[in-house]
Amino acid sequence: MLKHWWIILVSLVFVTTWLVRSVDDKSIIIIENNLKIPDYTLKNFETIRMDEFGKLKSKLTATDMIHYPDINTNIVDPIMVFYQDNNPLWTVKADNSEVSPKADQIWLLGNTSLQHKAIKIISKDLWIKIDTEYAYTNALTTIISKFGETKSKGMQIFMQIEQIELFSKVRGHYVLQ
């Protein structure tokens, strides 16, 4: 039997090679894709967006950002200001947010407030399409102005034309001056 040890060794090499090649590479890729590994982080940052004429469109500041290469970026304490003719139009604040990989959408998570001139809007979980400056939520919403208070379930905002549409269960309390 010791005379034929090389036959056993060669057989083991062939079997091992066959097993290694038969392992499905896709299973390894799936495991890697499920890992949430950031490629960089930022602290106390500010980013601005300009239009095609070099005018300020929006500015985003936050305390922390964790960027992932292929999934949403996490942002802590975001403050986003939208501008019109280089003047602040809307200021949006939230507890946390996520930005899409293409940076064209932002989800403001948790308590969210929007300020527009003398109007303050308080809501939760607001979605903003950044390029069109369109905001949407299904959450309870309160609009506070010097004339009173309006509550609704859900709303959408067209920021560029300063239009707010309330969805349902709209109730208002106004004080005449």
The predicted-structure confidence for 23-82, as pLDDT tens digits, reads as follows 655 555 555 555 678 888 999 999 999 988 889 999 999 999 999 888 889 999 999 999
pLDDT computed for residue 162 by the predictor:
87
pLDDT computed for residue 24 by the predictor:
58
pLDDT computed for residue 12 by the predictor:
76
pLDDT computed for residue 18 by the predictor:
73
Q: Which two tokens stand for residue 77?
A: 């304490």
Average pLDDT value for residue range 2-12: 72
User: What confidence tier does 3 reach under pLDDT thresholds 50, 70, 90?
Assistant: low
Burial of 62 from C-beta contacts in 10 A (0-12 / 13-18 / 19+): buried
| Rounded CA separation 146/62 (Å) | 29
β partners of residue 128? 106, 135
Closest by Cα among 76, 65, 28 to 43: 65
Q: 44, 63 in Cβ contact below 8 A?
A: yes
Please report where in the chains the tokens 């940076």 appear, as a residue. Answer: 103
The predicted-structure confidence for 128-156, as pLDDT tens digits, reads as follows 999 899 999 999 999 999 889 999 999 99
Average pLDDT value for residue range 4-21: 74
CATH 2.60.450.10 residue window(s) in the chain: 40-174
The predicted-structure confidence for 66-124, as pLDDT tens digits, reads as follows 998 888 899 999 999 999 988 999 999 999 999 998 889 999 999 999 999 889 999 99
Return the CATH class of domain 40-174: mainly beta
